[in-house]
Chain A
Amino acid sequence: QVTLRESGPAVVKPTHTLTLTCSFSGFSLSTTAMSVSWIRQPPGKALEWLARIDWEDEEFYSPSLQTRLALSKDTSKNQVVLTVTNMDPVDTATYYCARGRMIGGVISCDHWGQGLLVTVSS
C-alpha cells in the first residue's frame, strides 16, 4: 500500500525559508520510473506543479520558481525534502507531495499525500 505524508510548519514568516518533508511508504525511489513531485494549491485556486525528483536523482523545477526551490532525498529513510526560500504571502497554499510513475514515457501522479496548509504571515 502506497502512502505519502507531508510535514512541516503551518506558519512561516515572510522572507523566511520553508522546509517540507514528504515521508512515504509502499515504494522505493530507487526503483526505475519512480519519482516524487511537489504540487501546491493556493486557497480557492488551481493546482501548480513545483518540482520532481526521480529514481536517477534527476531534479526538475518549475521555471517560474526554480531559483527558490531545492529538492533532496534520503532513499534509506524514504523521504524527500523541499525547501522554498524567500517565502511571501502569495506562497500561502496547501502543499502536496505525490508519487510519480512513468508509463510509456508519460509521468502521472497516482498517489498523493493529504496535503499541508502553509500560511505565510508575520
Chain B
Amino acid sequence: DIQMTQSPSTLSASVGDRVTITCRASQNIVNYVNWYQQRPGKAPKLLIYAASKLQDGVPSRFRGSGSGADFTLAISSLQPEDFATYYCQQTYTSPRFGGGTKVELK
C-alpha cells in the first residue's frame, strides 16, 4: 500500500504570494500523481494530472512538477479564489490521497 505524505498540513499566505505544496510517496510512482483543489462545501476539482499536466480550464499559475517519489504543486501568485484545501493523489496502485493542505489567509 503506497502512502502519500503531504506537507504542510496548513499554509498561511497572502494574495500574490507564491506557495508550494509537496507530496512524498512511500515508493517510486513514476508520474502517477494528480492534484485536486477543494473549496469548502464543494466537490474536489482536478488541477494537475500525470504530475505536471494542466487540466483544461485551470489557470496557468498552477504548476505541478516531480517524478519518482517527490512531487510539488506550486501556485505562482495566489488569488483570492485559491484559498482552499489541496490534495495529491497517487494512482500507481490502489489510489490513495494525501492528507490535504489547507491554504488560508495570513
Let me know if A46 and B44 touch, CB within 8 A.
no
Among A39, A46, A106, A107, point to the contact of B31 (Cβ < 8 A).
Answer: A106
Which residue of chain B lies nearest to A111 when distances are taken between CB atoms in the complex? B46
CB of B104 to closest CB in A, whole Å: 15
- A46-65: CB near B (< 8 Å → 1, else 0) gives 11110010000000111100
Let me know if B97 and A49 touch, CB within 8 A.
yes
Given contacts A106-B91, A110-B55, contact A49 B98 (CB under 8 A): no
Given contacts A60-B94, A63-B94, contact A46 B99 (CB under 8 A): yes
| Chain B interface size range | 20 to 34
| Chain A interface size range | 20 to 34
Let me know if B94 and A49 touch, CB within 8 A.
yes
CB of A71 to closest CB in B, whole Å: 14
Query: In the complex the two chains form, what is the Cα distance from A18 to B96 in whole Å?
Result: 22
Which residue of chain A lies nearest to B6 when distances are taken between CB atoms in the complex? A46
Among A46, A63, A103, point to the contact of B100 (Cβ < 8 A).
Answer: A46
Given contacts A46-B87, A49-B89, A63-B1, contact A109 B46 (CB under 8 A): yes
| Interface: A108 (CB within 8 A) | yes
Given contacts A48-B97, A49-B95, contact A113 B50 (CB under 8 A): no
Let me know if A112 and B34 touch, CB within 8 A.
no
Let me know if B34 and A106 touch, CB within 8 A.
yes
Let me know if A112 and B95 touch, CB within 8 A.
no
- A70-108: CB near B (< 8 Å → 1, else 0) gives 000000000000000000000000001010000111111
CB of A50 to closest CB in B, whole Å: 9
| Interface: A114 (CB within 8 A) | yes
Let me know if A109 and B34 touch, CB within 8 A.
yes
